[in-house]
Amino acid sequence: MTHPVDILLVVVILLNFLVLGTPALRMTIRAAALQGAVLAVLPLLVHRGFGWRVAAIAIATMGIKGILIPGLLEKAMRDIHIRHEVEPYVGFVPSLFLCAVGTGLAILFAGNLPLAPEHVGTLLVPASLATLLSGFLVLTTRRKAISQVVGYLILENGIFIFGQLLIEAMPFLVEAGVLLDLFVGIFIMGIVINHIRQEFSSLDTELLSELKD
């Protein structure tokens, strides 16, 4: 637990709980943004050699995950007048409980994985799995489309952490890919949100069930 990477990862895991536990929509966006910013520092610490490529990835991650996307979401919240409350299908306490169970299982599961020796002691894999799970929880238990984007963002953060494991094998290809993927994904969801709003004058995905055949 003394490794600085582990401290950052603990912060990431705690932010997962914050996203799932807070009823304020704005807070979830900011927590996701903070998580992105924390993760931007991660490559700098994981890699001993400090090259321009690591710096570029850190800056890009910070820019996109920490500033650009949260900024867009906040702007969306201001532009479309909706209630600034998370509307969950599953309540906050059960969500937190599920998240805790998930995190515990992730730690147990990571202990059984055949990992490279340099990754065995760290929290990289458990944090990654726990973040993936939390992102998925947000995606499935929250009703507003903006919450869905936040969930997607957190899911991608989990993949990003996992990508750190592969950095020796495929230097930065993964990160660059993930960033691009994320950006395009958010972009498309932005368009979708806009269309949902025009169609239903609400962002409740519940109303989408009217579209089913």
Partner 1 sequence: MSLPLVLGGAFLCVAGGVPGLFLPPGAAARRIATAGSVGGSLLGLAGAVSVAVTGRVEALTRAWPLPGAALHVELDALSAIFLVPLFLVSALAAISGARSFGDDEHPSDARRTRFFFGLMTGAIAVVLVARNGLLFLAAWEVMALSAFFLITADRQSRESRDAGRLYLFSTHVATLGLFGFFSQLRSLTGSTELVPLPPGVAGTDAGTALFALALFGFGFKAGILPLHFWLPPAHAAAPAHVSALMSGVLIKTGIYGILRFTSLVPDPPAAWGDVLLVLGVASAVLGVAFALGQHDLKRLLAWHSVENIGIIVLGLGAGLAGRAAGRPDWALLGFAGALFHVVNHGLFKSLLFLGAGEVVHVAGTRDMDRMGGFGRVLPKTAFFFLAGAVAISGLPPLNGFASEWLVYLGLFDRARASGSDALRAAFAAPALALTGALALACFVKAHGSVFLGSPRGDPPHAHGEPAAHVAPMAILAGACALLGLWPAGIAPALARAAAIAAPGPVPTVTLAELASLVTVGLSALALVLLLGVVALFLRRKLAVAAPTAGPTWDCGYARPTARMQYTASSFARGPVGYFGWALRPRAKGAPVTKLFPVSASFESHVPDTVLDRAIVPAFRAGAWAARKGRILQQGRIQLYLLYVVATLVALLFRV
Closest contact distance (angstroms) between CB of 74 and partner 1 is 22
d(C-alpha 205, C-alpha 213), whole Å: 16
d(C-alpha 149, C-alpha 75), whole Å: 14
Locus of tokens 């309540």: 91
The one among 2, 81, 198, 213 contacting partner 1 by CB under 8 A: 213
Closest contact distance (angstroms) between CB of 79 and partner 1 is 22
153, 142 contact by CB (below 8 A): no
Binding of partner 1 by 210 (CB under 8 A): yes
3-state helix, strand and coil shares in percent for the chain, rounded to the nearest 5: 80, 5, 20
Binding residues among 29-88 for partner 1 as defined by CB under 8 A: none
180, 61 contact by CB (below 8 A): no
d(C-alpha 145, C-alpha 165), whole Å: 31
Lookup: tokens for 108: 């147990």
189, 149 contact by CB (below 8 A): yes
Binding of partner 1 by 201 (CB under 8 A): no
Applying CB under 8 A, which part among 6-14, 115-123, 172-180, 205-213 lies near partner 1? 205-213
Binding of partner 1 by 209 (CB under 8 A): yes
Binding residues among 117-176 for partner 1 as defined by CB under 8 A: 136, 139-143, 148
Applying CB under 8 A, which part among 2-10, 78-86, 165-173, 204-212 lies near partner 1? 204-212
Closest contact distance (angstroms) between CB of 27 and partner 1 is 21
Lookup: tokens for 42: 């991660």
Binding of partner 1 by 108 (CB under 8 A): no
Closest contact distance (angstroms) between CB of 202 and partner 1 is 14
Cβ-Cβ contacts under 8 Å for 193 (sequence gap 6 or more): 76, 145, 146, 149, 203
The one among 50, 89, 109, 187 contacting partner 1 by CB under 8 A: 89
Query: Nearer to partner 1 by C-beta: 4 or 91?
Result: 91
Query: Nearer to partner 1 by C-beta: 6 or 87?
Result: 87
Applying CB under 8 A, which part among 26-34, 48-56, 73-81, 202-210 lies near partner 1? 202-210
d(C-alpha 111, C-alpha 120), whole Å: 8
Q: How would you class 43 by CB atoms within 10 Å of its CB: exposed for 0-12, middle for 13-18, buried for 19 or more? A: buried
Q: Write out the residues near partner 1 by the rule CB under 8 A.
A: 89, 136, 139-143, 148, 205-206, 208-213
